Amino acid sequence: MEIRNSYITLNNLHYYAYHGVAAQENRIGNEYTVNLRLKVDIRRAAETDEVEHTVNYAEVHEVVKSEMAVPSRLLEHVCARISKALLQHFPMIEEIEISLSKRNPPMGADIETAGVTMVCSR
């Protein structure tokens, strides 16, 4: 069997944080959802069944949680910070696709979420 591409995904991570341009967003906060797709060569982990041969998604969550706790004005900035931190902490990650959504943003529209998606690589 040949594994050509492999990804670790973390879907619908929920955080309460204080990101936004409006002053009220920085005071009251909001609910956010993060989705990650991490390109990682998992061939060795598939053979050995050992977590040290892959990226531990519980540790990924801790990095994301830490970055989400730092208030920022723009979701673009938060995504960039999270991506940079993940690339620094996990040398096995080749590429990151990250989506960050804010629930019911204060923009006077009937909208469930607004967000950004970015793809970063080494």
Annotated active-site residue in 39, 65, 84, 102: 102
Catalytic residue status for 84: no
39-43: long-range contacts, CB 8 A cutoff, minimum separation 24: 39/5, 39/6, 39/7, 39/93, 39/94, 39/95, 39/96, 39/121, 40/6, 40/7, 40/8, 40/90, 40/92, 40/93, 40/94, 41/6, 41/92, 41/94, 42/3, 42/6, 42/8, 43/3, 43/6
The residues carrying an active-site annotation are: 102
